[in-house]
A and B are shown apart, each in its own frame.
Chain A
Amino acid sequence: MIKIQLVDDEANILSALRRLLKPQGWEVHTYNNVEAALGGLLEHNYAVIVSDYQMPTADGVTYLQFAKQRQPDAMRLVLSAHGDRNSMIKAINQAEVYRFLSKPWDDYEVVTAIKSAIDVYQLKVENQRLRNQVDTQKAMLRAREQELLRLESENPGITRVQRDADGSVLISDND
């Protein structure tokens, strides 16, 4: 199940987003303060984290920076009513956000942004899975190779024994 985390100090914003995302069938977790949201990071693995920019105690960029360390794969988005240049630069350079969305938003825009963020997230996860697979396979191959080398050094020639179709050992002179 795809999990989405929404952080905004305004409860009504969270309800509106919840309504908006409900038909998508994702598991949506909402937090109206940064501390609770941090707790959420410890319990769940999120595909996408959408945070407000201006919040008491910590701003959205600081929060997303932290989230980036905790869950580097989760895609980070900012949804802000405060679209000045500085906050955008901070969001891009420090929190490396995937999208910077502004309030008031267009429902379509938000859903599309989250969907494409999920696509990227799934690519990342899939990529990670494949890499792990390659790594395990490589390790297996290496172990096998070492085993062969060990056998060969203990019993020279043992790895080069030729066999017939029915498994019997072939002995020939031309060696």
Chain B
Amino acid sequence: MPQSNEAKSDQELLNDRLEQANRQLLQSEKLAAIGQLAAGVAHEINNPVGYVYSNLQSLENYLTDLFRLTDAVDSAESLDNLKAIKQNIDYDFVRSDLKDLLAESREGIERVKTIISAMKDFSHIEEDEFKPADLQRGIETTLNVVNNELKYKADIVKEFGDLPEIECIISQVNQVVMNLLVNAAHAIDDFGTISIRTRQETDSVVIEVEDTGSGISRENINRIFEPFYTTKPIGKGTGLGLSLSFNIIEKHGGQIEVESTPGIGTCFRITLPVRQPPPNGTE
């Protein structure tokens, strides 16, 4: 009796360690993916920062001009003098442009804010328990993170159905969606379309990511979920994205399927249950 107890605890110990190793692998794949996205995200941030920064310098010049006018109120000899200064600093232009300058700058800062909070949502490390979450919001967040990888490659078509909150580890589901989106963009040579669809089917939900890319050939399609299998050039992919996606979906009690026609495109379909079975299952 004690022996079997010991053996069981050994096995449990091993299981725990395996589980932990799996978690670490998942996390490092996520960080690797974010690393690969970093250049794109930098581009996404540098654009708004670029014009906001430049606008601030223009604003400074406008203010210097305006202060020249207000200071002259005290020192100018006549109203005509003031009028001359007002003319000189192109007052009407400054006045109308200030509004645009501020609106555009605010828009830029908003964009940076969105990207940063998406990155933060995305890289959440702590949570690894199942919680009801809004899939749509997760997909939007993910789209914000990978926007730069996609916008030069494809039009994004979103067809979101009404979804209930589903019990999942949202950060992991986001990771799967990101993998699928980045893969879709990589599969497109020039410019195409990536469609993201969601819908509910009785007690499960379906997410589809479809691209108009080069497709996956018959001999490769059986291997895409294998760890370290990649057709991307060195440095472009870890070969772990889809294999980990598969694990994540399996852990959620869901399914991931793929349909692909070389030359036409590929569609990945994820099915996730709305409710997770209670922890001490009835099996």
Interface residues of A (CB under 8 A from B): 10, 12-13, 15-17, 19-20, 23, 54-57, 81-82, 84, 102-105, 107
Is B261 engaged at the interface, CB distance under 8 Å to the other chain? no
Contact B51 A81 (CB under 8 A): no
Of B39, B107, B191, the contact of A56 (CB 8 Å cutoff): B191
Give the complex CA separation of A103 and B191 in angstroms: 25
Which of chain B's residues has its CB closest to A11's CB? B104
Q: How far is the CB of A4 from chain B (nearest CB, A)?
A: 16
Q: A16-B104, A20-B58, A82-B43 are in contact. Are A103 and B50 (CB under 8 A)?
A: yes
A16 and B151 contacting across the interface, CB-CB below 8 Å: no
Q: Using an 8 Å CB-CB cutoff, how does the interface string of B18-53 with A read, 1 for contact, 0 for none?
A: 000000000000000000000100110011111101
Asked if B81 is at the interface of the complex by the 8 Å CB criterion, the answer is no
Let me know if A104 and B49 touch, CB within 8 A.
yes
New A-B pairs, 7, CB < 8 Å, besides A13-B51, A107-B58 = A56-B152, A81-B43, A82-B39, A82-B43, A103-B50, A104-B53, A105-B53
Q: How far is the CA of A113 from the CA of B101 in the complex (A)?
A: 24
Of A19, A56, A57, A82, which contacts B54 at CB under 8 A? Answer: A19
What are the residues of chain A within 8 A of B47 when measuring CB–CB? Answer: 10, 13, 81, 103
Mask of B194-207 contacts with A, CB within 8 angstroms, 1/0:
00000000000000
Let me know if A16 and B55 touch, CB within 8 A: yes
Known pairs A12-B108, A15-B104, A81-B46; A20 contacts B151 (CB<8 A): no
Q: How large is the interface on B (under 10, 10 to 19, 20 to 34, 35 or more residues)?
A: 20 to 34
On chain A, the residues within 8 Å of B57 by CB distance are: 20, 107
B102 to chain A, nearest CB (A): 12
Instruction: Decide if B97 is an interface residue (CB 8 Å cutoff).
Output: yes
- Which partner residue on chain A sits nearest B154 by CB separation? A56
Per the 8 Å Cβ criterion, residues 53-73 of B in contact with A are 53-55, 57-58, 61
Q: Given that A16-B54, A19-B97, A81-B46 are contacting pairs, would A57 and B191 also be in contact in the complex, using a CB cutoff of 8 Å?
A: yes
The reply on B100 being an interface residue by CB < 8 A is yes
- By beta carbon, the residue of chain B nearest A103 is B50
A107, chain B: closest CB distance, angstroms: 5
Contacts of A54 on B, CB cut-off 8 Å?
Answer: 43, 152
Residue in contact with A107 in the complex, picked from B42, B46, B54, B151, CB distance below 8 Å = B54
* Least CB distance, A72 to chain B, in whole angstroms: 28
Residues of B close to A102: CB separation below 8 A: 46
Of residues B50, B97, B151, B191, which shows the largest number of chain A Cβ atoms within 10 Å of its Cβ? B50
CA distance A15 to B39 in the complex (A): 25
- Give Cα distance in the complex from A16 to B49, angstroms: 11
**CB <8 Å contact, B54 and A10:** no
Chain A's closest residue to B151 (CB) is: A56
Q: Can you report 8 A-B residue pairs in the complex whose CB atoms are below 8 A from each other?
A: A12-B107, A16-B51, A55-B152, A82-B39, A103-B47, A104-B46, A105-B54, A107-B57
